[in-house]
Amino acid sequence: MADERKPAGAPAGSGGRAPLPAAGREELEALGRSGLGNDQLLGLHRQMVRARLLDQRMWQLNRQGLAPFVISAQGHEAAQVGAGAAFVPGHDFFYPYYRDYALALAIGFTPYEILLGLLARAGDPASGARQMPGHFNSRRLHVVSQSSPVGTQIPQAVGTALASKLRGEDAVTYVSFGDGTTAEGDFHEGLNFAAIHRLPVVFFCENNQYAISEPLEKEMAVPRVADRAAAYGMPGASVDGNDVLAVYRAVREAVERARAGGGPTLVEAVTYRTTPHSSDDDDRTYRTREEVEAWKARDPIPRFEALLRAAGLLDEAGLRRVWQEAQAEVDAATDQALAAPEPDPGELTRHLFYEGKPFGPEPSPYGPRLGRAGGA
């Protein structure tokens, strides 16, 4: 796989892409106002690079027939890494949605753990290979496994925030979703209940402007998701989701307000996914190549790299080192995950209501109707 492992997103000078864009004075001033130290700023960049390279590897594995299904985070790195940096893993609670790979890495998942889930290996820490990829779960990191129907994680997150408040704890709950989910009843019910009871939860919408193939203007009559916050009686903020520092500042403010007892906030990060919705759809049927290329020119990673270079925090050698180290980490994780054992079929019913021998030729423990092919 040597050629396929070339870091496709690597910076110019290392066999990668076009020259970095220039950073303006306003962006440099915003970096100074972020309140983040140099190590933290470089850490944000490193997490975005890791996420991009892991994402590219997942697509390679899918196209090789080794991974059945991929949901991509390419283009969402700034939104997810910026949001994750405002929380405390292992203290706060997380209800990510299926596209939150960059967030998962930012709060403590390893590429190896994520690849175990993608490849459905026995050691998958999220579900033991029982869930689809992207259903993150970690007791250690306070990440709660979500159901596949979109939006169902929102009322669950609100329930966790209610528990934190009743217990007198200062944990804040993060819950994310796409713009399409805001048309679901779970969105309304969750925000309404959280606002009434002033619960410590941050609703984070990653508005990539498509609900699978449905464009935003066909989803809602208001221009921004954040416009809906006022109807629930909570603050709303719409930020550039390709600007990692803008996202961090907005989410940090929301977290601080929630931790101080100020209740929930709806934060909208306006971004774009540069890949199709999933590995199983063809986005050429619903959006033009010109539109996709225009958004690729606004890629959040080179944009942040230009800022770090303008601030004197990163030079060409440092940039190359970050990409190479991240690529080596993803390569090693891939080899390790591919070598991991498959699940034991004998554990098929573990953690289910019925923890017995998997159904087979023998009669079902629930009676003849469930054990007979063809029905009654």
Please indicate whether residue 95 is annotated as part of the active site: no
Which one of the listed residues 17, 286, 287, 298 is annotated catalytic? 286
Please indicate whether residue 286 is annotated as part of the active site: yes
Please indicate whether residue 101 is annotated as part of the active site: no
Question: What are the Cα distances from residue 200, in Å, to 171, 195, 351?
Answer: 7, 9, 31
Which one of the listed residues 273, 303, 309, 320 is annotated catalytic? 273
Which one of the listed residues 45, 52, 277, 309 is annotated catalytic? 277
Judge whether 11 and 302 are in contact, CB under 8 Å.
Answer: yes
Phi/psi for 215 (5° steps) reads -70, 160
Secondary structure (H, E, C), the chain: CCHHHCCCCCCCCCCCCCCCCCCCHHHHHHHHHCCCCHHHHHHHHHHHHHHHHHHHHHHHHHHCCCCCCCECCCCCHHHHHHHHCCCCCCCCEEECCCCCHHHHHHHCCCHHHHHHHHCCCCCCCCCCCCCCCCCCCECCCCECCCCCCCCCHHHHHHHHHHHHHHCCCCCCEEEEEEHHHHHCHHHHHHHHHHHHCCCCEEEEEEECCEECCEEHHHCCCCCCHHHHHHHHCCCEEEEECCCHHHHHHHHHHHHHHHHCCCCCEEEEEECCCCCCCECCCCHHHCCCHHHHHHHHCCCHHHHHHHHHHHCCCCCHHHHHHHHHHHHHHHHHHHHHHHHCCCCCHHHCCCCCCCCCCCCCCCCCCCCHHHHCCCCC
Judge whether 304 and 49 are in contact, CB under 8 Å.
Answer: no
Active site residues: 273, 277, 286
